[in-house]
Amino acid sequence: MEEPIQKVGRLAKLKQIIVIGVPAVIESIISVIISTIDTKMISGLGKGAVSAVSFTSQPKLIILSIFFALGTTVSVFVAQALGRHDREEANAYFQTILRITVILSLVVGILAGLLARPIMSICNRQPDTVGLSVSFFRIIMFFLVFNAVSIVLNAALIGIGKTPLTLISSIVMGVVDIFANYLLIEGRCGFPKLGVLGDALGTVCGMAAACVTSIVLLSTQSGFLTLKGLFTPRRDPDIMKNVRVKAGNTVVENLFTRIGFLISSIIISGLPSDQTAVYSVTMILLGYSFSFGDGLQAAVLTLTGQKMGARQYREVKDYVRLSQIVGAVVSIALSAVYILGAHRFYSQFFRDAEAIAHGISYTYVAAALTLLQIIRIINVAAMRGMGDVKSPRIMATICVLFINPAVAFMLTSALSCGVWGIWIASLTSQICWFIMSCVKERRCMRRVLGFGPA
């Protein structure tokens, strides 16, 4: 039965979305800015270095997808417990997932580091850049635990609406990362010139700083979560079962999504490095688009989770619809900025007119993908907040694991469309994903309004 609630006006709800969403957007943008600056620093070493680092992204994200899934799970559980004002339950879920994260990240990180060469031999088919990819990937994986723990800590803070704290962690990471890169890539202030290896070490320094910052902020500023008792676990079969069910579905979804992206990345790596370098820079724009979607996702997940926990189901619909409107406005504005600023953007990375011209033409595709991506991210977050973790998994599997790689392979290998084949495949899969997410979200909403949790 739905609990009686005090009516909250739409402007007040919009303010809540902004208060939670804006810091999360800024946090995500900082990550993209760091990636952009890293790419800019690496571009001074040549297009080969840019391609080498870019090919480590998908295998790294496949591994991180496990911890993103655990982060999403902890956000949902903590948000719902907050809605019920149950601090003990929130900390039980939080600490259980954090313990799993520490153990899993140590094991997976060491294994992936040791297997860096065979992994990158699969992911990078460019003989002239694969060695650099191996060096970069190995260092990142050996220190995976810092990144994984930060993901879960920040996700728990998002669940209780403390996105300003996660923003602080990201700022610290960015400052340390960029400063370390400045010293190590080109060799300044007496430090050795390490090139791509320096970029990897700078990334590790940033992740370690962010992890320590998140631990301190959660321990002193959260007001609801605690690390006390983390090393004295209590066995609770119900909590472990719930974590397995929700995290399991989300892990499978994320893994399938990332495997699909990896297959596409392998297809891309078979193209000339000149083409893939421009493609990689265009993907930075989509990184900014994802940042805005990710920020709104944090707001939707937090607010819908809290309202579901409090059984205020009609409030859930208002927050989701308002977030979709905000997402549509933001995506249109971003697309306009991308198109108008394309020439200046690509001029920061390339000097030859042909590469800039290719980049400008790719920007129109990036603008279209932005419109589809942001609303789809909001829809999927709403479904998770309402308790539906199966539909996102099915949609991701169909669109990213099957449709995108199949179309990309057909267009690049059979029809020799080059990078344009990759872009057409991305448009095809994102259109399908967008349509399915709209249909599934509305069905899920009807179930919630009629019968409670989906």
Tell me how far apart the alpha carbons of residues 98 and 228 are, in angstroms, rounded to a whole number. Answer: 12
Q: What is the pLDDT of residue 3?
A: 45
Q: What is the pLDDT of residue 453?
A: 53
CA atoms within 13 A on the CB side of 72: 32
Q: What is the DSSP letter of 59?
A: H
Tell me how far apart the alpha carbons of residues 272 and 284 are, in angstroms, rounded to a whole number. Answer: 19
Buried b / exposed e across 259-293, counting CB within 10 Å, b at 16+? Answer: bbbbbbbbbbbebebebbbbbbbbbbbbbbbbbbb
| 55-62 average pLDDT score | 81
Q: What is the pLDDT of residue 233?
A: 65
CA 416 to centroid of chain Cα atoms: 31
104 versus 305: which is more confidently predicted?
104
CA 182 to centroid of chain Cα atoms: 25
pLDDT digits (tens, 9 = 90+) for 205-234: 999 999 999 999 988 887 788 888 777 766
pLDDT at position 2 over 90: no
Tell me how far apart the alpha carbons of residues 207 and 19 are, in angstroms, rounded to a whole number. Answer: 26
CA atoms within 13 A on the CB side of 64: 18
378 versus 80: which is more confidently predicted?
378
Sign, CA dihedral 136-114-62-143, equals: negative
Report the C-alpha dihedral over residues 253, 256, 260, 261, rounded to 10 degrees.
Answer: 60
Q: What is the mean pLDDT of the chain?
A: 84
- At 271, is the secondary structure helix, strand, or coil? coil
213, amino acid identity: T
Q: What is the pLDDT of residue 331?
A: 93
Q: What is the pLDDT of residue 332?
A: 94
pLDDT at position 47 over 90: no
Q: What is the pLDDT of residue 372?
A: 92
Tell me how far apart the alpha carbons of residues 278 and 266 are, in angstroms, rounded to a whole number. Answer: 16
**pTM, entire model:** 0.75
Cβ–Cβ under 8 Å, residues 404 and 429: yes
Tell me how far apart the alpha carbons of residues 97 and 190 are, in angstroms, rounded to a whole number. Answer: 42
Q: What is the pLDDT of residue 274?
A: 67
Between 132-141, 240-249, 308-317, the lowest mean confidence (pLDDT) is in 240-249
Q: Taking the CA atoms of the chain, what radius of gyration do you get in angstroms?
A: 22
Q: What is the pLDDT of residue 5?
A: 44
Q: What is the pLDDT of residue 234?
A: 67
Cβ–Cβ under 8 Å, residues 73 and 247: yes
What are the CB-based long-range contacts (under 8 Å, 24+) for 286-290? 286/366, 286/369, 286/370, 286/373, 287/31, 287/32, 287/35, 287/36, 288/29, 288/32, 288/334, 289/331, 289/334, 289/366, 289/369, 289/370, 289/373, 289/374, 290/28, 290/32, 290/373, 290/377
pLDDT at position 279 over 70: yes
146 is written with which tokens? 């810092």
- The H-assigned helical ranges of 185-236 are 196-221
47 is written with which tokens? 């297009």
Cβ–Cβ under 8 Å, residues 20 and 307: no
